Structures are given as C-alpha cells and as structure tokens.
C-alpha cells in the first residue's frame, strides 16, 4: 500500500502490542535502560546509493571518518601480558596495539620509520619491535632503541624516530583506538553505554568464540543488515514463532549510540495464526538444539516467563554465577546497541554477542564481518583463554563454524541477501535508497554521522 507523501505521521508505530507492553507482563521489572526510549524523527530524505558504491567516497571515508573515530581494536584479555600485541587493520591502515606496561596499552602506526615496511604482521608477544627488513628496533613504549648502522644515520635524533602514536581508551574489557589525537574522548562517544551495561559486567567476560568472514558488500550495507528487525518476515521466517519483529523498539540515544530491541519467546504479530505458548517455547529452545516437547510450559504461564527461568537455571548450572536478579528481557531479548561507526554489542545476559564490521582493505564493495560471543568467567575461575579468531573461507558458511549453533544459519540467511544488495545498488536506476521513518531510524543516523564526518563537522 502506498500513500501520498504530502502529509504523513512521523510518529507512526506498529499498531499492536509494543515492546514496552511486553515488558509490563514479565516476571521481573526490566532495568531502567530497557525502559528508556528515545525516538527522534530524523527526516525522510532518500539516501544516495554512492554512500555504498563510490570508491571516491570510500577513500574520503578513510581520511575523514576512519582516521578520526574510536574503533574497537581488541579485547583487553587478548593482550593480557606485557609485550602482548595485536595489529588493528582498518581499510588500508594499520596500528600495533601493545600492552607496553602492566597497566598501560599503547597503539602505534604500524610502519617502520626507516623505509616503511610494516613493523609487525601477526599478533604475538615481544619485548621489542625489530623491523625484519634492516633491523631498526623500537621499545614497547614506541621509543627508538637501536639499529645496526648508527654511523650512517647520525642526522636522525631519537625524537625523529619516535613511533607515531594513536589514542587508546578502554571500556567493558574492550580496547578502543583512534588514529587521531584530536576529537571527542572515548567516554564522550560512548555516552550512555557504560550506564546501560552496568549490570552486565562486560569486563568480567571472556571471548568464548570469534568468527570472521569476508562479505561481498559495502561495510555499511553489511552493518545495516543488523540494525533492524523487519527483514525477519522475508529473510528469517523460521524465527517468527519466537521473535517479536515488527513491534521491535528502536532508539537513537546520542550521535553515536543507537539500539534496537526485539522480544524473544514472543511470536511475531505478523503470523496469521498465533502459535501456542508450548510451540513458542519449543521453537525458541529448538534454535539452541533442544528437541521439541522436552519441557512443558505449565498451564497459565507464558512461554516467555517459562523459558527465561530455564535460561537462568541453565546458565547458573553452567558457570555457578547467580542469574536470579536478571529480568526476562535480559535473558531472552535481542538487544543490539551500536556505537558509530562499526561496533555492535548485544545487551542482555544470555546473548552477549559482539559484531564488528570493517571494510575489506580498500575495496568499497566488500567488508569483513566478525562475530564474538562473550561469556562470564566461571565463578570459581580460572579465567578461560580468549578464543582465537576463526576465519571462514569464501565458500564456508557461518553455520560451518562449529561454535555457532543456531545463530550461524540465521547469519547465512543474511548473507544470502548481501552480495545481491551490493549488486543491486551498483545497478540502481535512480541512484537512491529509501528508509522507513521508524524501523530504519538507526540506519539513517548512521548516514547522518557519515555525512557529518565527511563534511568535517566533527
């Protein structure tokens, strides 16, 4: 159904039960962050296709946005000991992120100051960075140490040979870097996140798995496929019996922080026939590889309240922590926070996934998507080692990663669209795409921020 565009309701919402209505019926009061709502009207203008397809615009993004924003480089646990380092690659740029002292993390431009070889190419542990080309060597703190030919470089001071440094900040066990020394502080950018995640103790979690794959679509097209839930009806119809999709809540909390929430163990209002509470529970648990009918939802209880308690019990018996205080919403819902430009952290307890999207080198038409799962450190320790990254080849599916029970096949459905999104965009006849005013509010905010960076307003 199409309407004349002359006048329309910018505050229009799905007419049925809202996410907040669902919370009203839960067994425990949801925390204040899930009760918060922030739904500004951000405009309805079309978005230029060039935002996804122009190599010239991509190159400007690198200079004006990627070089000037806070980006999650790794988890602190990945560089736990002095001398541990990783490389952080974004577009065609690279940093070495190193724990230079017990309580200090630094990031250096990953380029030898002699003739420009990349200083390091693999993560590891070192007590100095020695360039493999001619042996120029730096201390962990970026100060110059030595090289084999001091007689020939008498024109250079130690200051000339100090490694250029990027900014580093930490929050929730994540290490963030910013190639630029100017611009807002990390905590300014994170805005409400620390408060909203206070319950979840992200710093007390470890990487249970980390899977990555190259996707043949622009990094914005890929990330935006995870910023709305209304593609469920056509892309993931099998999850409709247990995911409230069209009555998801969308929020834009600040320039940088947006969120969507879809209630779990509640059926989609789009289903012509609403499933029974038992079916909802069976379908929800089925995604976790539990056979249908193994548990019975007691008469008079909703699947949501029942399954939330099951999740609490299962998690507690797994790691010994106490989950009783957490609301049904925190146990079941898809709560996706995004931090501009390329990080998404799931709120909630059972589903602590993290997504990171990066361009694939300098190619405007492909991206790298990574999925992390964070799990609580067992109550009685020891802290498990963070899982190493598992790269999927071009031919492999997310479901081929053994860790990705259930989730993998859902992501593969998303992947079924993305190369064709990119192909379609490149073939566009009118060179524009259109966003819904509410359900695609987060995507619009993403483009608003891109424009502001490209126009040097930030």
Given the rule CB under 6 A, which residues bind ligand FES? Answer: 112, 114-117, 131, 133-136
Contact positions with Fe ion (CB under 5 A) in 392-451: 414
> Shortest approach of ligand FES to residue 323 CB, angstroms?
52
Nearer to Fe ion, 203 or 414 (CB): 414
Residue nearest to Fe ion (CB): 414
> Shortest approach of ligand FES to residue 163 CB, angstroms?
12
> Shortest approach of ligand FES to residue 136 CB, angstroms?
4
3-class secondary-structure state, position 7: coil
The number of helices, as runs of H, and strands, as runs of E, in the chain is 13, 20
Q: How far apart are CA 284 and CA 294, in angstroms?
A: 12
**CA dihedral of residues 209, 402, 264, 35 (deg, nearest 10):** 10
User: What is the size of the binding site for Fe ion (CB under 5 A)?
Assistant: 1
> Shortest approach of Fe ion to residue 212 CB, angstroms?
18
Question: Quick one: what does residue 114 bind among ligand FES, Fe ion, none, with the CB cut-off 5 to 8 Å set by partner type?
Answer: ligand FES
Nearer to ligand FES, 131 or 374 (CB): 131
> Shortest approach of Fe ion to residue 137 CB, angstroms?
48
Nearer to ligand FES, 119 or 266 (CB): 119
Q: How far apart are CA 285 and CA 279, in angstroms?
A: 10
Nearer to ligand FES, 63 or 146 (CB): 146
Q: How far apart are CA 223 and CA 338, in angstroms?
A: 10
DSSP states of 284-334: HHHTTTPPTTSS-PPTT--HHHHHHHHHHHHHHHHH----TTS-HHHHH-E
296 Cβ contact list (under 8 Å, min separation 6): 278
Contact 193, 337 (CB under 8 A): yes
Nearer to ligand FES, 150 or 291 (CB): 150
What is the 3-state composition of the chain as percent helix, strand, coil, each rounded to the nearest 5? 30, 25, 45
Q: How far apart are CA 113 and CA 429, in angstroms?
A: 47
Nearer to ligand FES, 152 or 394 (CB): 152
Question: Quick one: what does residue 41 bind among ligand FES, Fe ion, none, with the CB cut-off 5 to 8 Å set by partner type?
Answer: none
Q: How far apart are CA 156 and CA 333, in angstroms?
A: 58
Nearer to ligand FES, 8 or 133 (CB): 133
Nearer to ligand FES, 16 or 116 (CB): 116
Q: From the centroid of its chain, how far is CA 110? A: 24
Question: Quick one: what does residue 414 bind among Fe ion, ligand FES, none, with the CB cut-off 5 to 8 Å set by partner type?
Answer: Fe ion
DSSP states of 441-453: HHHHHHHHHHHHH
**CA dihedral of residues 359, 43, 32, 325 (deg, nearest 10):** -40
212 Cβ contact list (under 8 Å, min separation 6): 368, 369, 370, 371, 389, 390, 391, 392
φ/ψ region of 156 (left if φ > 0, alpha if ψ in -120 to 50, else beta) reads: beta
> Shortest approach of ligand FES to residue 87 CB, angstroms?
16
> Shortest approach of ligand FES to residue 112 CB, angstroms?
3
Binding-residue pattern over the window 360 to 399 for Fe ion, x denoting contact by CB under 5 A? ----------------------------------------
> Shortest approach of Fe ion to residue 408 CB, angstroms?
12
Nearer to ligand FES, 43 or 135 (CB): 135
Nearer to Fe ion, 238 or 278 (CB): 238
Question: Quick one: what does residue 153 bind among Fe ion, ligand FES, none, with the CB cut-off 5 to 8 Å set by partner type?
Answer: none
> Shortest approach of ligand FES to residue 88 CB, angstroms?
20
12 Cβ contact list (under 8 Å, min separation 6): 437, 438
Q: How far apart are CA 395 and CA 373, in angstroms?
A: 23
> Shortest approach of ligand FES to residue 142 CB, angstroms?
15
**Cis-peptide, bond into residue 341, ω within 30° of zero:** yes
Question: Quick one: what does residue 115 bind among ligand FES, Fe ion, none, with the CB cut-off 5 to 8 Å set by partner type?
Answer: ligand FES
Per CB under 5 A, residues contacting Fe ion are 414
């Amino acid at each position: 159904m199409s309407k004349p565009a002359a006048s329309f309701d910018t505050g229009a919402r799905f007419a049925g039960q809202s996410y907040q209505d669902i919370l009203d019926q839960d067994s425990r009061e949801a925390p204040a962050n899930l009760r918060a709502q922030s739904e500004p009207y951000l405009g309805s203008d079309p978005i230029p296709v060039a935002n996804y397809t122009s190599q010239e615009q991509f190159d400007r993004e690198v200079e004006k946005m990627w070089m000037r924003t806070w980006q999650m480089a790794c988890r602190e646990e990945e560089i736990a000991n002095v001398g541990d380092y990783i490389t952080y690659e974004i577009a065609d740029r690279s940093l070495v992120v190193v724990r230079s002292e017990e309580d200090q993390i630094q990031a250096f431009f990953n380029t030898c100051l002699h003739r420009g070889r990349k200083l390091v190419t693999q993560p590891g542990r070192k007590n100095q960075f020695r360039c493999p080309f001619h042996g120029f060597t730096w201390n962990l703190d970026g100060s110059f140490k030595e090289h084999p030919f001091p007689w020939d470089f008498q024109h250079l001071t130690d200051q000339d040979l100090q490694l250029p440094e990027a900014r580093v900040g930490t929050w929730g066990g994540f290490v963030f870097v910013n190639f630029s020394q100017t611009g807002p502080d990390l905590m300014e950018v994170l805005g409400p996140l620390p408060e909203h995640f206070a319950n979840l103790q992200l710093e007390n979690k470890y990487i249970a798995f980390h899977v990555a794959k190259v996707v043949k679509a622009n990094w914005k097209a890929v990330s935006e496929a995870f910023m709305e839930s209304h593609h469920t009806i056509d892309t993931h119809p099998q999850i409709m019996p247990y995911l409230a999709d069209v009555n998801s809540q969308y929020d834009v909390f600040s320039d940088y922080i947006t969120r969507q929430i879809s209630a779990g163990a509640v059926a989609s209002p789009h289903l012509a026939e609403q499933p029974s509470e038992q079916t909802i529970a069976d379908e929800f648990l089925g995604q976790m590889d539990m056979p249908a009918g193994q548990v019975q939802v007691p008469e008079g209880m909703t699947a949501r309240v029942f399954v939330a308690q099951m999740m609490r019990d299962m998690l507690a018996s797994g790691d010994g922590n106490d989950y009783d205080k957490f609301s049904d919403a925190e146990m079941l819902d898809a709560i996706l926070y995004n931090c501009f430009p390329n990080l998404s952290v799931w709120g909630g307890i059972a589903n602590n996934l993290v997504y990171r999207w990066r361009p694939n080198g300098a190619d405007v038409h492909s991206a790298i998507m990574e999925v992390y799962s964070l799990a609580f450190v067992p109550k009685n320790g020891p802290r498990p080692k963070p899982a190493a990254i598992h790269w999927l080849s071009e031919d492999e599916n997310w479901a081929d990663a053994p860790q990705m029970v259930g989730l993998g096949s859902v992501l593969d459905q998303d992947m079924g669209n993305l190369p064709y999104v990119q192909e379609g965009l490149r073939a566009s006849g009118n060179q524009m795409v259109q966003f819904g005013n509410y359900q695609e509010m987060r995507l619009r905010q993403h483009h608003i921020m891109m424009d502001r960076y490209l126009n040097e307003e930030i």
